Amino acid sequence: MPPLGSRADVLQSLAGLNIASDGTSEGLLHGPGIMLEMMPQEDPVRQILLSINDEDIAWSVIMRMLGKLPWELLDPESGRKLKRDL
């Protein structure tokens, strides 16, 4: 699996989508309706765990994230992938 990017690049890309750390824990990021977890000190970043906190707003944020970043999401329970349309 290719890396998502350097830690600095990933954090900068997510910050542009209003997703950032609240300063309480390294690798724990919050955005509207979602929470992202990265392995502490992992660089380059190879995977991020995404959790939905509020479905009413999370999906618009997730779709915007997929539209701007060259990443794909994998549901580990079903094996289904969600990625941007090219």
pTM attached to this predicted model: 0.87
Q: What proportion of the chain, given as a percentage, has pLDDT over 70?
A: 97
Q: Is residue 76 part of a domain?
A: yes
Rounded Cα distance, 58 and 79, in Å = 20
Q: Is residue 2 part of a domain?
A: no
Domains held by the chain: number: 1
Where helices occur in 1-86 by DSSP H, the ranges are 7-15, 55-68
Structural domain harbouring 48: 7-83
16-28 pLDDT, tens digit each: 999 999 888 888 9
- Domain membership of residue 58 (yes or no) is yes
Residue 1 lies in a domain: no
Identify whether 21 is part of a domain.
yes
Average pLDDT, the chain: 91
Does any domain span residue 70?
A: yes
CA distance 52 to 37: 12
Q: In this model, does residue 39 exceed pLDDT 90?
A: yes
| 57 assigned to some structural domain | yes
